[in-house]
Amino acid sequence: MAYEPTLMTGALLFVIGLAIVLLRREVLFVLMGIEVMFNSAGLTAAAAGQYWQDSVGQILVLFLMTITGAELAVALVLVYLAFRRLRVTQLAEIHSLRDAPTLPQELRP
């Protein structure tokens, strides 16, 4: 097994994920780009684990999957809230942290 092509594949996948994050405007596509970048890091970790013939790389990939699940769940709820309250799906339109007209009654000033 040549070691460099695996790292090269991981680096190319990272660049593609970064392109999705930087060039697309929809929030969901930005999340997908982040997923792609996480996976490129996982591929690099698995290749390095095979390079050292050790289980550390696989353990890193496992933690990466778990953290990605937690991150995606919270991020998706935030996207859903942004759509329900502000009716926006584009990233540039989410520019206000405070949405006073749709706050629940007990939180209104």
Partner 1 sequence: MLWNGIFYVTSAIMLISALSALFARHAMYGGLYLITSMVAMAVLYYLLGGPFISALQVSLYVGAVLVLLLFMITMLYRPAPRTYVPRLNRRFWWPMLLLLVLLAEVATLFATGAQTTVPKIVSIGPKAVAEALFGHYLLIVEATALLLLAALTAVLYLSRKVEES
Q: What are 86's two structure tokens? A: 């502000």
Per CB under 8 A, does 41 bind partner 1?
Answer: no
Per CB under 8 A, does 93 bind partner 1?
Answer: no
Q: How far is the CB of 29 from partner 1 (least distance, A)?
A: 6
In DSSP notation, 22-75 reads HH--BHHHHHHHHHHHHHHHHHHHHHHHHHTTSSHHHHHHHHHHHHHHHHHHHH
* Positions that interact with partner 1 (CB under 8 A): 1-9, 11-13, 15-20, 22-24, 26, 28-29, 31-32, 35-36, 39, 42-43, 46-47, 49-51, 53-59, 61-63, 65-74, 76-81, 83-85, 89, 102-104
